[in-house]
């Protein structure tokens, strides 16, 4: 198996500008509701993402939501950075390895976190209905799709 890095343009589409307060302004928390997030396509047809902080293509901390449509899945892939993935809603089925194997997935409920090491092949599935996860890491990041040789 090998994993092929996707074009940087797909990651560049994930950018969100965050306003910095001026010296005269006081910084305040920003509330981001998943219902109003701007969702953009990914290499996986039934998965969209919304950047909630940072820029995954830059050397900085970032956080994204990933929404899996009912039945949607991400094929085996890797990222060059460590990630913390937290299930926000729905049941998210997580698996590891370079080949998608339904029997090796584990059903994870909201509040469950997964620690994914850099370059570890993994995949996800929303078998029972829509699922949303939050992914946080330190870029630059990207996605390499694993394909049979």
What CATH number has the domain spanning 2-8+36-147?
2.60.120.10
Q: Is the pTM of this model over 0.85?
A: no
DSSP 22: P
pLDDT of residue 15: 41
Q: Averaged over 37-57, what is the pLDDT? A: 95
Question: Residue-wise over 111-126: b if at least 16 C-beta within 10 A, else e?
Answer: eeebebeeeebbbbbb
Q: Averaged over 5-27, what is the pLDDT? A: 52
Q: Where do the domains of the chain lie?
A: 2-8+36-147
Structure tokens at 94: 């997580």
């Amino acid at each position: 198996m090998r994993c092929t890095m996707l074009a940087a343009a797909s990651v560049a589409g994930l950018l969100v500008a965050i306003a910095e307060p001026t010296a005269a302004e006081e910084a305040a928390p920003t509330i981001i509701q998943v219902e109003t997030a701007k969702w953009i396509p990914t290499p996986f047809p039934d998965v969209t993402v919304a950047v909630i902080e940072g820029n995954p293509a830059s050397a900085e901390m970032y956080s994204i939501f990933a929404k899996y449509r009912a039945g949607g899945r991400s094929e085996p892939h890797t990222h060059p950075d460590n990630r913390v993935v937290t299930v926000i809603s729905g049941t998210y089925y997580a698996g590891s390895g370079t080949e998608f194997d339904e029997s090796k997935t584990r059903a994870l409920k909201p509040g469950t976190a997964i620690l994914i090491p850099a370059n570890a092949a993994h995949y996800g599935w929303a078998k029972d209905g829509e699922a949303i996860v939050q992914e946080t890491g330190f870029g630059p990041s990207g996605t390499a799709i694993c394909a049979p040789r």
